[in-house]
Every structure is written in C-alpha cells, then in structure tokens.
A and B are shown apart, each in its own frame.
Chain A
Amino acid sequence: MSRPDRAPRLVVVSFLLSAFGAAGFAASYVLGLGNAALGGCLGAAFAFLALGLARWSNLIDAAEPEYVEERDVGPTAQDQYDAFRRALTEQPVPRSRVLWGALATATAAIGGAALFPLRSLLPSMGTDPDDVLSRTPWRAGAHLVTEEGVPVRATDLEIGGTVTVFPEGLDPREHVDTTTVLVRVEPADLDLPAGRADWVVDGVVAYSKICTHAGCPVGLYTDTSHQLMCPCHHSVFDVTDGARPVEGPAPHPLPQLPLGTDASGYLIARGGFSGPVGPSWGNH
C-alpha cells in the first residue's frame, strides 16, 4: 500500500457487499422469507465483513515491519519482593492458635450451615431414595392398560406382538418406573426361571421396559429370536428365559411382572416386579 490514504478497492467493495447482505436480511425478515434467506443474507454480511477486514489487515501487514516486544515476566526483583513481604507482616498479626482456630471454626460453621438449604432440592423429608428406586406402584390386582388407558386381553396380541402397558389409574408420565412391555410368544418356546411358570397368560409375558443398563426404554423386539433390544447401548434380552441379558452391556435381566386375568379375561398383575426396575445404583 504505497499510498496509505487511498482506499483499497477490494476492502471497500467487501464492506459495501456486507451492508447489502445486512439489508437483504432485514428485507427477508419483513417479507417473511424462509430460514435459508435469513441465514444466507446475515451470514453473507458477516462473511464480506470478514473478507474486507482480513484484506485490510493484510495490506497493513505488508507495509509494516514485524514488531518485537521484550518479555519482562519473571520473579519480581528481590527488594520489591521484600517490600511486599514487609507490607504483609508489618502490622503484627497475633499467632494465637485460639484466635485463628476460632476464626476457622466460625467460617467452617457458616459454610456448613449454608449447605442445609440444599436439602430443599431433595424430595420431602422421610423419602429414602433406595426405597423409592426399589419399588414400583404395581400391585396385585392392578389392570394392565395401554398408554391411552385401554385394558388388554392376552388374545389382543398376536404371537410375536408387543404392547407397552401401565397400571390402570396412574399417569404414565408420573410413574415411569411402571412402564412394562408385554410380549406374546408360543407357550412352548418359554423356558422361564423356576417358579415363574404361572406368571404367563396364553404365552404373554410381562417385563419392565426400563433397561437395567442405563434406563432407556427397551424398544426393539425381534420375533424370530425372541429378543428385546435397547436402542441406546444395544443390550439384548431373551424374553423366553426371564429376559436374561444375552448380549451387550446390561448386567441384569429385566424384572418380570407376574400376570393373571380378571373374570372377564383382562390382564392383571399378580404382584410387583421380580426385582428393582432400571439401572443399578451405587448404594444398593
């Protein structure tokens, strides 16, 4: 840039195009144009601004030398450091242990007291998380209903069919731990753990839908292999064998819900789940 007072053309043109882009953004807004027009115009405005500034800066660089700055960071000179020490200790501070100890006690007590209101972030007093996590509202006699509240019969499912159910009368969003998946298989294919032979109605088995690994809904069922898979981390459970984990990171089976029917053939629970629902927790 031999004549620094002459405006570099590319820089000027870039800035003008930038202003044009900004005007385009305003116009797009007023006209109610789509997201692409808004983002394209404002993005172009900034892009041309960047171009102009970068070019301008390069022109200055080309005309200027490199600069050298000395680095003076390092320890302070000894006499200044001594002066600092003196300022710190000139007024004698008592070395009494009792005094400092009392001050430490006061600050620690205030800090500790300030932690108490944190308790208000937890649910009301008397709630033990271990209790809450260990139990679900499933009770003997509870009807199994779909998310829309429709009761279910075993014959509503075809062989290989699944449906997600909840205990009747409870809001599914409030009681996520009740989420249960029903799967119907050929009764002959079942090979359940001992004592669960009568937990089945017409080949329908019920398991918690909350994965025992990280809590995602176990949403994918493969009919041919009788396997439920969690799409989050790909744990696989065998529904014919008490939802035993056969692949992936889940360490525990999905808890099973014992099933029965009422007088009209609608499915009911005959008790709670066979174990705690969902992932393990660290003070279990």
Chain B
Amino acid sequence: MVSLLPRPRPMRKLDERLGIASVGRDVLAKVFPDHWSFMMGEVALYSFVFLVVSGIYLTFFFEPSAAMVTYHGHYAPLQGQDVSAAYASAVRLSWDVRGGLLVRQAHHWAAHLFIGSIVLHLCRIFLTGSFRRPRELNWTIGVTMLILAIFNAYAGYSLPDDLLSGTGLRIFEAIAQSIPVVGSWLSFLIFDGEFPGHEIIQRLYVLHVLIVPAVLAVLISAHLAILIRQKHTHFAGPGRRHSNVVGSRAWPSYGLRSLALMAAVFAAVLLAGGLLQINPVWAWGDFDPATITAPSVADWYILWIEGALRLFPPVEFHVFGFEVPNQFWPGVVLPMLVFGSLYLWPWLDRRWTGDREPHHLTGRPRESPLRVALASAMLTFLAVLLVAGSEELLVQWTGWTVAAIRDVLRVLVFVLPLLAGLVGWWLAESLRRTDLGHAVELGGRDLVRGLPRHGRRESA
C-alpha cells in the first residue's frame, strides 16, 4: 500500500511529539563572537571527543593486567619473552594490530593537544578577565578539568607497564607516601601494598577509561550549559555592549566553522599519529624495577613537578614527631599552591581590584597590567621548572656539570619570574598608555578594531 499523501518530514514529526521548534530556533540563532582566541576551548572539546573515540578502540586490544605472559608477535626482539600482559598487549597493539599504532599514537598526541589547549584557553580567560563575576563557577569547573586532564594523561601513559612509566609510578608512590600522617596508608591504598604490587595497572585503568572521563564529560556538560545560559563574553566594539553579544549565528556560519575546527583537530592528531613517533614502548623495554632508562624525561604537563623535585634542596625535618619528607614540598605542596591559587583567583582578583560588578565585556590583556605580570611570572616559573626537568639536555648542549646547571636554575627559578613579571607589567602599562593617548586624539571615543562587516541585524 503506497500512501498518496505527502510524507511528513522528520523535523515535523519530531516537533509534533516534542514541540521543540521554538527552542530549536533559539539554538540555531545563538550568536557566537568571532575571535580566534575563543577557539581554544573548542579545540580542547574536540580533542576530548577524539580521545574518547580512539580510547574506546584501544580498550578492545589493551589488557590491563600485571600477569606474566609470553609475547608472540611481529616485534622480534621481544619474541618469546615473558612480560606483563599489559606490556605485551601494548606492544602487540603497536606491531601486530593493523592500524593499532596509528590509533595509539594519535591518542597520545590528542592528550597533548587536550591539555595544551586547556592551558591556552585558561590563559585567554585569565588575561582578558573573563573569570570575573558572573563566571567564577565556570572558572572553577575549568581548573578542575585541567587537573583531571593532567591526572588522566599521567594515568594513561603509566598503563603500558614499560620502563619509563614504571619509573613514573615509582615517583608517584614516593610523593603519595610523603603526605604527613596518612602517607604510607594512602600509598598502600593506591598500590595495594608495597610498590609495585599487582593491582596498580588495573586500578589506573578503571580511573583512566571510566571514572575520570565520566567526570570530565559531566563537567564539560556543565561548563557548556553555564556558557549557553550566560552567553559568551565579547571584546568591546561599536555596538558591542555589556548587554548583548555580537557575532555569527550558530547556524550555518559558526556551526560550519566549528565543524571545520573539529575536522582540523582530528587531522592534526591523525597526521601526527601517522608521521611522528611518540612513546615507543617497545623501545623502552618492559618495566624492571631494578633498571632505569637514562635520561628519563616525563611528558611536559607533569615535567614541571619533576623539575621542582630536582631543584628542591635536600632538607627534611620533623613536625610534632612526624617526618615531613623532602619530596612533599615539590611533589604535593607546589601543585597545591599552583592549582589552589588558580581556584581562588576570581576572589583574589576581586579583593585586589575591588571590582564586584558583573562583566560581559571582556578586556584586552593590557587593561590589567597586574594580570599580565602575574601570568608572565607564573608561566616563566613553570618554564624554568620544565627546563630543570630536562637538565640532561642542557648538560649535552653546554657541557656543564649537572650540579652547576642545577645551581644556576635554583637562582633563575626565582629571578626570571620576577623579571618576566616586571617586563609584563611594563609592556601592558605602556600599551595601555599608548591607547589612552590615541583615545584623546580621537576625542575620547572608545577604541575599536574591526568595524561591522555589512551592517547588523537583531537576532533575538
């Protein structure tokens, strides 16, 4: 039986059941400001999407187990050797599963891009003052996601049970057990006893593939829901007011551009995964607690803690009869200070500036020399720690001894951030004065780059 009536189209069918046309129209007409710096968060979002999809593929082949098995496969040097199931499956994934190496490497590159774009996004939000009221909540959600992203990347590269990751876990154990009063219990809780135990790979696996991604997904949803409710900030300009948003509509122009960005992110990580080798676990060898690769350099997002561990002087003392181990300060206190100050920043900024007003117009970095100075100082501080984390490269280049380089870095870690902060302040302040000078010439009108393209249309 063929009906002669025209078939209702799917949109109509959906609307008959849900009545969504009105909401749908609002979504399609949502306005996004056009500025390249607003794309960093989207890069992070699409990296996360890629991480989830590629990660699911990897779970079909990776075996999170410390049980010993005999490797049989295409990687000849390991043929017939007894290694952990985790290591054997990671090598098999790289050498014996067709396309497996591409997905593994692209997954690792995507993790770098994920954390890198979050850091850049955070810098943009910080420097433009976009964390101010009413966006404090989204700022704290963002900082939480940064911490989770770093943790999950660390958990991820600890899974293959290769020599490098095993060493990383050993340091993690030393840091966990350094926490006063509860240290050894905490470390036993994580590792099921003394290092390395049999459980750590399985536990990290559950965290890496289930718990942390699930929490991240919830936080991303909240981050976006709050963003949609509050609408984007935008830079000042003609007709760009506190009370509106000016830009492109979600459909079609912004939507297409955002999809283009997604495709570009996928392209970047896949090209990198295909052409640039990363973490060749077969070359490191399987984890053997008695040996170590030298030099051993961690991934950059964790390397600053390594650098701090190297630079911190060999002091140790007792408080109320409890030992405060040396590695507690760089391993626990330093990250707590860095992330703690990020969490508290919206409120510290409010206290400093006395500014409690809601802000929807976002400032150019120069408008707050203080923030430029602090950001320069913090980034320089972390950069010196990154250099300290890769001292062995400096030893190769300069021919100096490790001790000499360490002494220099111990000074630079304080001096350079101070200098960078002063330079940042001076730069922002002089740019700001130049702007003010122009504003007077122009008769005090506000300065705007970018004039409207072809007029303007109300989108409400």
Q: Does B301 contact A (CB under 8 A)?
A: no
Q: Does A143 contact B (CB under 8 A)?
A: no
Partner of A69, one of B245, B292, B316, B453: B245
Determine chain A's interface SS by DSSP, over half rule: mixed
Q: Which of A87-95, A151-159, A212-220 contacts B (4 or more CB under 8 A)?
A: A212-220
Residue with the greatest number of chain B CB neighbours at <10 A, chosen from A53, A68, A278, A284: A68
By a CB distance below 8 angstroms, the chain B residues around A176 are 194-196, 289-290
* Per-position binary interface string of chain A over residues 237-266, scored 1 when its CB falls under 8 Å from any chain B CB and 0 otherwise: 000000001011111100000000000000
- In the complex, the answer to whether B296 meets A231 with C-beta atoms within 8 Å is yes
Q: Does B376 contact A (CB under 8 A)?
A: no
Q: A42-B274, A71-B243 are in contact. Are A216 and B253 (CB under 8 A)?
A: no
Q: A71-B360, A231-B292, A249-B314 are in contact. Are A39 and B102 (CB under 8 A)?
A: yes
CA distance A143 to B325 in the complex (A): 33
CA distance A106 to B267 in the complex (A): 54
* Per-position binary interface string of chain B over residues 307-328, scored 1 when its CB falls under 8 Å from any chain A CB and 0 otherwise: 0011111111000001111111
Q: Does A121 contact B (CB under 8 A)?
A: yes
Q: Which of A183-230 contact B (CB under 8 A)?
A: 209, 213-217, 219-220, 229
* Per-position binary interface string of chain B over residues 162-185, scored 1 when its CB falls under 8 Å from any chain A CB and 0 otherwise: 000001001101110111111111
By a CB distance below 8 angstroms, the chain A residues around B31 are 67-69
Q: Does A281 contact B (CB under 8 A)?
A: yes
By a CB distance below 8 angstroms, the chain A residues around B102 are 35, 38-39, 42
* Per-position binary interface string of chain B over residues 373-409, scored 1 when its CB falls under 8 Å from any chain A CB and 0 otherwise: 0000000000000000001100000000011001000
Residue with the greatest number of chain A CB neighbours at <10 A, chosen from B34, B272, B274, B288: B274
* 22 contacting pairs across A/B (C-beta < 8 A): A38-B102, A39-B272, A39-B273, A43-B271, A43-B272, A47-B263, A49-B267, A53-B259, A53-B263, A60-B256, A73-B229, A123-B193, A172-B290, A214-B309, A215-B171, A217-B292, A234-B402, A249-B312, A249-B327, A279-B327, A280-B327, A281-B183
By a CB distance below 8 angstroms, the chain B residues around A82 are none
A residues contacting the other copy or chain, number (CB 8 A): 82
Q: Which of B246-267 contact A (CB under 8 A)?
A: 246-249, 252-254, 256-257, 259-264, 266-267
- In the complex, the answer to whether A46 meets B196 with C-beta atoms within 8 Å is no
- In the complex, the answer to whether B106 meets A39 with C-beta atoms within 8 Å is yes
Q: Which of B273-291 contact A (CB under 8 A)?
A: 273-275, 288-291
Task: Give, as a whole number of angstroms, the nearest-CB distance from A33 to chain B.
Answer: 10
What is the size category of the interface that chain B forms with chain A?
Answer: 35 or more
Q: A39-B271, A39-B273, A66-B453 are in contact. Are A217 and B291 (CB under 8 A)?
A: yes
By a CB distance below 8 angstroms, the chain A residues around B391 are 234
CA distance A43 to B456 in the complex (A): 38
Residues on A lying within 8 angstroms of B by beta carbon are: 29, 32, 35-40, 42-47, 49-54, 56-58, 60-62, 64-71, 73-74, 118, 121-123, 127, 129-130, 132-133, 147, 164, 166, 172-173, 176-177, 179, 209, 213-217, 219-220, 229, 231-236, 245, 247-252, 278-284
Partner of B328, one of A53, A54, A62, A282: A282
By a CB distance below 8 angstroms, the chain B residues around A47 are 263-264, 267, 271
CA distance A234 to B297 in the complex (A): 12
Task: Give, as a whole number of angstroms, the nearest-CB distance from B112 to chain A.
Answer: 15
Partner of A29, one of B98, B181, B254, B454: B98
- In the complex, the answer to whether A40 meets B184 with C-beta atoms within 8 Å is no
By a CB distance below 8 angstroms, the chain A residues around B178 are 279-282
